[in-house]
With several copies, the nearest count.
Chain A
Amino acid sequence: MAKEVQQRDRVIIRFAGDSGDGMQLTGDRFTSETAEFGNDISTLPDFPAEIRAPAGTLPGVSAFQLHFADHDVMTPGDAPDVLVAMNPAALKANVADLRVGGDLIVNTDEFTPRNLAKVGYAANPLEDDSLSSYQVHSIPLTSLTVKALEGYSITRKDAERAKNMFALGLLSWLYNRPTETTLAFLERKFAKAPELARSNVTAFNAGWNFGETTEAFTVRYEVKPAVMPPGLYRNITGNTALSYGLVAASVRSGLPLFLGSYPITPASDILHELAKHKRFGVRTFQAEDEIAGIGAALGAAFGGAIGVTTTSGPGVDLKSEAIGLAVTLELPLLICDIQRAGPSTGMPTKAEQSDLLLAMFGRHGEAPVPIIAPRSPSDCFDAAIEAVRIAVTYRTPVFLLSDAYLANGSEPWLVPDVDSLPELPVVFATEPNHAKADGSPEFWPYLRDSTTLARPWALPGTPGLEHRIGGIEKADGSGNISYDPSNHDTMVRLRQAKVDGIARDIPPLEVDDPDGDADVLVLGWGSTYGPIGAACRIVRDEGGKVAQAHLRHLNPLPADTGDVLSRYRRVLIPEMNLGQLALLIRGKFLVDAISFTRVRGMPFKSDELADAIRDVIEAS
């Protein structure tokens, strides 16, 4: 009974199984328990590609990884310490990532000749020595669960399905997690089917007791709670945080939120989430295509709403023309691009950072658009508010570049106090702003604010300000159609200056250079923040010196970016693309930045990044 308890400062667990095995749910529950316990966490779900592949096949494998620790966690982790493999496909697809010496928990019931053959195992890997570098725990999870549930009046299928709760119980025991939230969750989830609720609870307890009783496990682990700033926490994914950020921006600005969107992985969840918040006056319009989605958002913006459109790469392509219209109309608009692996359909469920230059340049003509990128799942909340702030202040479309990893990954979030959120005051035009030659007042829709260069936002319904805007070049000030060559030059430069000028209004680039004497700066953007931070930590732990800076504003860049870069001998830019930020930084600052790229649809491993940093330090 009294098993040995070992201390760990961090653990990475991956649950892997068939799409139908409920691995996402298992992961979610373990995450909740762990959060409740007080560890810091980072999670990474790894869905199968798009459609549900036939059971037991490789494309059907669904996985969920979580990393928890007694200190702050920056990534979902590179190599799992524990892999739960519910079938041969899950084993095959995931075992290579398992740390040598790690725990491998397999559901032996599924290791039938048929299932093994399905994924190309010539022999049963549990029976040869191919897994000898791991601590293998072969457990007939399915049959143990079914046995535990004998006597319940549920179908055999339902009994088998509960095996994920058995596994969860076992893992909860292994890491000594609090179980209340899971038990409460099961009651809630099966509120309408009490027998299912009871049987799932039983399966969960059976798993716990199995750990406690059996000889298979000789040690339990303990991971102490992390010290985190005090406050109310919840776990949150990037897509949820982004949605909440939009709702918050609507509340704080007093403007209604209008989402025009067409479903696409991995952005659809934002549409789903926002569709729930009708009480906040949020309108969600599922359009006939991406163009209609952004078009409707722009129409709503003309009417005074916060117009938002959410999509991923292929949708951004289609929205290009409308974004260009928004640039020239100078209306606020938010385009959220949840980046996925391209080109074309690519790998829809996988992450990539390859839309940066698309966001910068993906429209004909000179059509500058500010770009913001969140760095972590919970940061999507703040990034969304900041993006809306820029859009409404500067009357401009703004790009928010998230990605599939941020979208579905999660981490604990210190729930902010509503009053601490930025206010987003918006002043609409109500009066004429110009005098005609005869002295009578008139309204000039392109007379700019001298600081922000923003034009007035005059809503339909405002008497006396009736005006027409359009995509043809406009005369500076009056906004009337103009084909005057030098006016065009002026307007092109004004639009650029307006966007460039936002640099005055954003914080300087924060640099994390603990001793202030590093030679090498690692510059990143977006979801690589965690892996880069973890890699820097690895390098520093070895005594290496490295500085980290992470860009939230990609366009314009913070005003001091050039200064910061010039303080370091070498600049390393890791990206999940072929070097898009690197091109911009090199072109703008003539700094010989080193581009380190991996385009695998997955976050960097902190180990490989640490290697890259070491290489640069050594070479410099």
Chain B
Amino acid sequence: MSIPVQGPPSGRRQGLDLVPVTAEKGTKKEYTSDQEVRWCPGCGDYAILAAVQSFLPELGLKRENIVCISGIGCAARFPYYLNTYGMHSIHGRAPAIATGLATSRPDLSVWVMGGDGDFMSIGGNHLIHALRRNVNLKLLMFNNRIYGLTKGQYSPTSEVGKVTKSTPAGSVDTPFNPVSLALGAEATFVARTIDSDRKHLTSVLRAATEHRGAAFVEILQNCNIFNDGAFDLLKNPETRDTAVVRLEHGAPVRFGNDGEKGVRMTERGALEVVDVAEVGEDALLVHDVKHEEPALAFMLSRLGNVDDGVTPIGVFRAVDRPAYDDQVREQLEDAVRTAGPGDLAALLASGDTWTTN
């Protein structure tokens, strides 16, 4: 086959532009590989896998043009189970590997899957650089707040005081807030969702694919072996409505059993949780994923600190900025446009030359 390295003439692109589509959407079954899934029974990864396997066919892309790249960890086993192209690489480096692939192949939809250790511990640097560059990648971080594969050490997203094999007296370091970190790293698309909420998860994936550039999605994932119940508050029907804040673009930020709670900005530039009945809906913060500045999204990402246990999910930010790989390709096209395609003989003979005979 010949490799389509150049896309169509440049110009600002959308979502999955350049990735070939197919008339016949595939099925979940077609997107399921023949490899036995080897996660622990009950692991949250199963739900994510099922959601992705169902969602991908929806996109109507040619299956062979989808690539899933991962590092190492339980989550990072993901590619084996998707019947697309895939690479299970080394710990933490998947965003870098994917950057090379996405930059050289505009016709591929490139996904990066991994755990919180993979993305935020050893791979933290590659992640933040992929985000600031805005490489056209969908980065899904399965955050179980633990190292699963290595059998239960604390991770950079584990809460303070966590007792694990490596921290028998409790961990002392403040975890990253993945959404805050991504926003601080100039991410153009940042979202959070939950393994068990198939509908929400799928809607976030949809938004991520519509975004051109780096889309970072934190998926809260239960590791029932080493950190069971980490997100029970957000899942338990008794508590979830008051714990989960579902962000919707253009809508006031409300939650609670009947949307009776809301979020408002104080004069001091902080957020507070208020009683909607008391303050009125107009007083509430209206969520704006398109806000050119990430500061408000950042503020929302801290809501859990302001009101303990409250966790906003949904898309925090989704703004347009040219993707790294698109621009790199444009520079190549420009060079050819202005100076013609490369001429090897001319290159070799460039500079001062002389002839002997």
Name the distance in Å between B121's Cβ and chain A's nearest Cβ: 5
Q: Between A and B, how many residue pairs show CB distances below 8 Å?
A: 297
Q: Is A465 part of the contact surface with B, judged by Cβ < 8 Å? A: yes
> B1 to A428, Cβ gap below 8 A?
yes
Q: Is B98 part of the contact surface with A, judged by Cβ < 8 Å? A: yes
> B96 to A291, Cβ gap below 8 A?
yes
Question: Could you tell me the distance between the alpha carbons of A307 and B99 in the complex, rounded to whole angstroms?
Answer: 13
Q: Is B341 part of the contact surface with A, judged by Cβ < 8 Å? A: yes
Name the distance in Å between B118's Cβ and chain A's nearest Cβ: 11
> Please, which residues of chain A bring their CB within 8 A of the CB of B40?
51-52
Q: Is A453 part of the contact surface with B, judged by Cβ < 8 Å? A: no
Question: Could you tell me the distance between the alpha carbons of A365 and B309 in the complex, rounded to whole angstroms?
Answer: 46
> B1 to A430, Cβ gap below 8 A?
yes
Q: Size range of the interface on B?
A: 35 or more
The one of B5, B86, B125 in contact with A468, judged by C-beta atoms closer than 8 angstroms, is: B86
Q: Is B305 part of the contact surface with A, judged by Cβ < 8 Å? A: no
> Please, which residues of chain B bring their CB within 8 A of the CB of A55?
41
Name the distance in Å between B137's Cβ and chain A's nearest Cβ: 10
Question: Could you tell me the distance between the alpha carbons of A255 and B86 in the complex, rounded to whole angstroms?
Answer: 21
Task: Output the nearest chain A residue to B334 by Cβ-Cβ distance.
Answer: A278
Q: Is A123 part of the contact surface with B, judged by Cβ < 8 Å? A: no
The one of B105, B121, B150, B342 in contact with A288, judged by C-beta atoms closer than 8 angstroms, is: B121
> Please, which residues of chain A bring their CB within 8 A of the CB of B65?
460-461
Please tell me which stretch of A391-399, A469-477, A599-607 contacts chain B, meaning at least 4 of its Cβ atoms lie within 8 angstroms of it: A469-477
> Please, which residues of chain A bring their CB within 8 A of the CB of B353?
232-234, 415
> Please, which residues of chain B bring their CB within 8 A of the CB of A299?
69, 87, 96-102, 104
Please tell me which stretch of B160-168, B201-209, B236-244 contacts chain A, meaning at least 4 of its Cβ atoms lie within 8 angstroms of it: B160-168
Q: Is A567 part of the contact surface with B, judged by Cβ < 8 Å? A: no
> B87 to A302, Cβ gap below 8 A?
yes
Please tell me which stretch of A268-276, A550-558, A574-582 contacts chain B, meaning at least 4 of its Cβ atoms lie within 8 angstroms of it: A268-276
Task: Output the nearest chain A residue to B88 by Cβ-Cβ distance.
Answer: A470
> B104 to A300, Cβ gap below 8 A?
yes
Q: Is A50 part of the contact surface with B, judged by Cβ < 8 Å? A: yes
> Please, which residues of chain B bring their CB within 8 A of the CB of A471?
72, 88-90
> A264 to B104, Cβ gap below 8 A?
no
Q: Is B178 part of the contact surface with A, judged by Cβ < 8 Å? A: no
The digit string for B80-116, where 1 denotes a CB below 8 A from any CB of A, is: 1011111111111100111111111101100000000
Task: Output the nearest chain A residue to B19 by Cβ-Cβ distance.
Answer: A461
Question: Could you tell me the distance between the alpha carbons of A390 and B332 in the complex, rounded to whole angstroms?
Answer: 27
Q: Size range of the interface on A?
A: 35 or more
* Known A-B contacts A268-B150, A291-B96, A466-B84; A302 and B348 likewise in contact (beta carbons under 8 Å): no
> B344 to A247, Cβ gap below 8 A?
yes
Q: Is B328 part of the contact surface with A, judged by Cβ < 8 Å? A: yes
The one of B121, B349, B354 in contact with A289, judged by C-beta atoms closer than 8 angstroms, is: B121
Q: Is A281 part of the contact surface with B, judged by Cβ < 8 Å? A: yes
Question: Could you tell me the distance between the alpha carbons of A418 and B347 in the complex, rounded to whole angstroms?
Answer: 10
* Known A-B contacts A55-B41, A286-B154, A418-B344; A268 and B165 likewise in contact (beta carbons under 8 Å): yes
* Known A-B contacts A303-B108, A462-B64, A468-B79; A57 and B36 likewise in contact (beta carbons under 8 Å): yes
> B352 to A298, Cβ gap below 8 A?
no
The digit string for B333-351, where 1 denotes a CB below 8 A from any CB of A, is: 0111001111011011111
> B342 to A296, Cβ gap below 8 A?
no
Q: Is A258 part of the contact surface with B, judged by Cβ < 8 Å? A: yes
Task: Output the nearest chain A residue to B39 by Cβ-Cβ distance.
Answer: A51
Q: Is A493 part of the contact surface with B, judged by Cβ < 8 Å? A: no
The digit string for B317-338, where 1 denotes a CB below 8 A from any CB of A, is: 0000000000010011011100
Name the distance in Å between A251's Cβ and chain B's nearest Cβ: 5
Q: Is A35 part of the contact surface with B, judged by Cβ < 8 Å? A: yes
> A234 to B351, Cβ gap below 8 A?
yes
Name the distance in Å between B329's Cβ and chain A's nearest Cβ: 8
Task: Output the nearest chain A residue to B37 by Cβ-Cβ distance.
Answer: A54
> Please, which residues of chain A bring their CB within 8 A of the CB of B150?
263-265, 268
A residues 275-305 with Cβ under 8 Å of B? 275-293, 295-305
The one of A229, A230, A459 in contact with B1, judged by C-beta atoms closer than 8 angstroms, is: A459
> A292 to B356, Cβ gap below 8 A?
no
> Please, which residues of chain B bring their CB within 8 A of the CB of A272?
165-166, 168
Question: Could you tell me the distance between the alpha carbons of A468 and B72 in the complex, rounded to whole angstroms?
Answer: 14
Q: Is A36 part of the contact surface with B, judged by Cβ < 8 Å? A: yes
Q: Is A481 part of the contact surface with B, judged by Cβ < 8 Å? A: yes
Q: Is A38 part of the contact surface with B, judged by Cβ < 8 Å? A: yes
Interface centre among A234, A275, A288, A307 (most CB of B within 10 A): A288
The one of B82, B96, B335, B356 in contact with A38, judged by C-beta atoms closer than 8 angstroms, is: B356
The one of B148, B149, B336 in contact with A279, judged by C-beta atoms closer than 8 angstroms, is: B336
The one of A251, A290, A314, A469 in contact with B342, judged by C-beta atoms closer than 8 angstroms, is: A251
Question: Could you tell me the distance between the alpha carbons of A276 and B169 in the complex, rounded to whole angstroms?
Answer: 8
* Known A-B contacts A286-B166, A288-B129, A289-B92; A463 and B86 likewise in contact (beta carbons under 8 Å): no
Q: Is A138 part of the contact surface with B, judged by Cβ < 8 Å? A: no
Q: Is A139 part of the contact surface with B, judged by Cβ < 8 Å? A: no
> B347 to A244, Cβ gap below 8 A?
yes
Question: Could you tell me the distance between the alpha carbons of A268 and B82 in the complex, rounded to whole angstroms?
Answer: 30
* Known A-B contacts A265-B150, A416-B348; A305 and B87 likewise in contact (beta carbons under 8 Å): no
Name the distance in Å between B181's Cβ and chain A's nearest Cβ: 13
> B104 to A283, Cβ gap below 8 A?
yes
> B80 to A288, Cβ gap below 8 A?
no
Question: Could you tell me the distance between the alpha carbons of A305 and B125 in the complex, rounded to whole angstroms?
Answer: 25
> Please, which residues of chain B bring their CB within 8 A of the CB of A307?
100
> B357 to A288, Cβ gap below 8 A?
no
> Please, which residues of chain A bring their CB within 8 A of the CB of B38?
51-54, 57, 59
> Please, which residues of chain B bring their CB within 8 A of the CB of A181?
352
The digit string for A223-234, where 1 denotes a CB below 8 A from any CB of B, is: 001001111111
> A298 to B104, Cβ gap below 8 A?
no
Task: Output the nearest chain B residue to A414 by Cβ-Cβ distance.
Answer: B356
Question: Could you tell me the distance between the alpha carbons of A499 and B166 in the complex, rounded to whole angstroms?
Answer: 34
Q: Is A16 part of the contact surface with B, judged by Cβ < 8 Å? A: no
Name the distance in Å between A324's Cβ and chain B's nearest Cβ: 8
> A284 to B342, Cβ gap below 8 A?
no
* Known A-B contacts A248-B344, A251-B344, A287-B96; A279 and B104 likewise in contact (beta carbons under 8 Å): no
Name the distance in Å between B130's Cβ and chain A's nearest Cβ: 9
Q: Is A491 part of the contact surface with B, judged by Cβ < 8 Å? A: no
Q: Is A30 part of the contact surface with B, judged by Cβ < 8 Å? A: no
> B168 to A283, Cβ gap below 8 A?
no
Name the distance in Å between A14's Cβ and chain B's nearest Cβ: 21
Q: Is A149 part of the contact surface with B, judged by Cβ < 8 Å? A: no
Question: Could you tell me the distance between the alpha carbons of A442 and B328 in the complex, rounded to whole angstroms?
Answer: 36
> Please, which residues of chain A bring their CB within 8 A of the CB of B331?
278
The digit string for A31-54, where 1 denotes a CB below 8 A from any CB of B, is: 010011010000000000011111
* Known A-B contacts A258-B103, A292-B99; A230 and B356 likewise in contact (beta carbons under 8 Å): yes
> B85 to A466, Cβ gap below 8 A?
yes
> A38 to B129, Cβ gap below 8 A?
no
Task: Output the nearest chain A residue to B342 by Cβ-Cβ distance.
Answer: A280
Task: Output the nearest chain B residue to A261 by Cβ-Cβ distance.
Answer: B166
> Please, which residues of chain B bring their CB within 8 A of the CB of A466?
63-64, 83-85
Q: Is B23 part of the contact surface with A, judged by Cβ < 8 Å? A: no
Q: Is B67 part of the contact surface with A, judged by Cβ < 8 Å? A: yes
Name the distance in Å between B47's Cβ and chain A's nearest Cβ: 16
> A288 to B41, Cβ gap below 8 A?
no
Name the distance in Å between B34's Cβ and chain A's nearest Cβ: 9
8 A-B residue pairings within 8 Å (CB atoms): A231-B355, A232-B353, A264-B150, A292-B99, A299-B69, A299-B99, A469-B87, A471-B88
A residues near B (Cβ < 8 Å) are 32, 35-36, 38, 50-55, 57, 59, 181, 185, 225, 228-235, 244, 247-248, 251, 255-256, 258, 260, 262-265, 268, 271-272, 275-293, 295-305, 307, 314, 321-322, 325, 329, 344-345, 415-418, 428, 430, 459-472, 480-481
Q: A278-B331, A283-B332, A463-B62 are in contact. List 5 more A-B contacts (CB 8 A).
A: A248-B348, A285-B100, A288-B96, A428-B1, A461-B20
Nearest first, the 4 A-B pairs at minimum CB distance are: A296-B100, A470-B88, A299-B100, A295-B96
B residues near A (Cβ < 8 Å) are 1, 3-6, 20, 33, 35-41, 62-67, 69, 72, 74, 77, 79-80, 82-93, 96-105, 107-108, 121-122, 124-126, 129, 147-151, 153-154, 156, 165-169, 225, 328, 331-332, 334-336, 339-342, 344-345, 347-357
